[in-house]
Amino acid sequence: MSNVEDRPVEQDVCSAEAAVAAEPDLEALHPREVPLGGPRAMAVRRVLPNRDRRMVGAWCFADSYGPDDIAGRAGMRVPPHPHIGLQTVTWLIEGEVLHRDGLGSRALVRPGDLSLMTAGPGIAHSEQSPPDHSPVLHGAQLWVALPEAARTTAPAFEFHPGADLPRLDRPGAGVTVFAGEVGGAASPATAHSPLAGAALDLAAGARLRLPLDPAFEYAVLVLSAALTVEGRAVPTGDMLYLGRGRTGLDLSADRPAHALLLGGEPFAEDLVMWWNFVGRTHDEIAEARTAWERERADPPANARFAPVTGYDGPALPAPVLPNARLKPRPRYRRH
């Protein structure tokens, strides 16, 4: 999924250590609704970047959506668009999403599968509901910022079927590890920084305790039904930031609930985020935008953003850059 806003909010991120709670914390982060564009377009709930906190570990972007009734509708339809400096993660609770990219990858993502795309210096992709899609779509799209050492890594795509992902089974609950390591289980997906990402599925009345790494900061993003996290009720679409220094996490659900646990070592580099780009400077972002606008209609043989084949429609044009130069800002809002 893309940031398809025609006037994207500048999201510059400074890595100041003061942005990370050195001790356990409980900070509620509320999403804003963002339409994906087009007639009868579906909307997403964007909770990262947030005005109060822009990152959790290397996780720098988090959208959740649904459950949406898309029966008789196109459903998700995100045209080809570019990325730099990040990895995209697609995770579904219900429905299907068809991924295509400039490497020639084509993957139909279903609930429990992991779709992971590494942009490196540049890649384009599209995401859409297939023609014979299920009537309900429900899931999340996440971005992971690449550290400096991995920013020039070759673009790549990985598809990991749900059967290949490690799962921790607890009474009334299941934990599927899709990124990094959680509870001693490690995802097979490529990670470029110390990371944690897991899907949490709780039955009605279930209680779950998870071991955590005290060196990591963590957050829980609720995808369906209110979930109680460390004694705090968290509604659908909200994220509860947990800080770091925790060795465990307690969750409970009165109704069947789905959530994502996201975490990692605090990201130690300054970032500039704008539209679908994660960079370090204004000039880097501007250069990527210029390359995309030059290549999207008539890509050369050696295009930075190789064209996406198979998508029925034009590529997404880039918004106009703001008049002011993009520059790093704190990872959190100082109150």
Domain contains 313: no
Q: How far apart are CA 23 and CA 247, in angstroms?
A: 11
Q: How confident is the model at residue 226 (pLDDT cuts 50, 70, 90)?
A: confident
Number of domains in the chain: 1
In the numeric block, which tokens belong to residue 253? 């659900």
pLDDT tens, residue by residue, 92-134: 999 999 999 999 999 999 999 999 999 999 999 999 999 999 9
Domain contains 269: no
**Residue 246: how many CB atoms within 10 A of its CB?**
20
Q: Order of strands, edge to edge, in the sheet holding 114-118?
A: 32-35, 43-48, 59-69, 136-145, 86-94, 114-118, 156-160
Q: How confident is the model at residue 314 (pLDDT cuts 50, 70, 90)?
A: very high
Domain contains 17: yes
pLDDT at 328: 84
pLDDT at 331: 66
CA atoms within 13 A on the CB side of 151: 13
pLDDT at position 9 over 70? no
What is the domain range of residue 27? 11-264
Place of tokens 């790093």: 328
Question: Is the backbone of residue 292 left (phi > 0), alpha (psi -120 to 50) or beta?
Answer: alpha
Which residues have a Cβ under 8 Å from the Cβ of 335 and sit 6 or more positions away? none
Domain contains 272: no
Domain contains 295: no
Domain contains 195: yes
pLDDT tens, residue by residue, 187-201: 999 999 999 999 999
Domain contains 312: no
Is residue 262 a contact partner of residue 56, using CB atoms and an 8 Å limit? yes
pLDDT at 332: 63
Residue 51, SS3? coil
In this structure, of 7-11, 161-165, 184-188, the range with the lowest mean pLDDT score is 7-11
pLDDT at 276: 98
DSSP-derived letter for residue 304 is S
For residue 11, what are the β-bridge partners? Answer: 273
pLDDT at position 40 over 60? no
Tell me the whole-structure pTM to 2 decimals: 0.93
pLDDT at 247: 98
pLDDT tens, residue by residue, 149-173: 999 999 999 999 999 999 999 999 9
Domain contains 70: yes
pLDDT tens, residue by residue, 56-96: 999 999 999 999 999 999 999 999 999 999 999 999 999 99
**Residue 87: how many CB atoms within 10 A of its CB?**
27
pLDDT at 17: 45
pLDDT at 176: 99
Considering only residues 23 and 227, tell me which one the structure prediction assigns the higher pLDDT. Answer: 227
Q: How far apart are CA 58 and CA 257, in angstroms?
A: 25
Q: What share of the chain is helix, strand, coil (3-state, %, to 5)?
A: 5, 45, 45
CATH code: domain of residue 146: 2.60.120.10
pLDDT at 274: 97
pLDDT at 304: 98
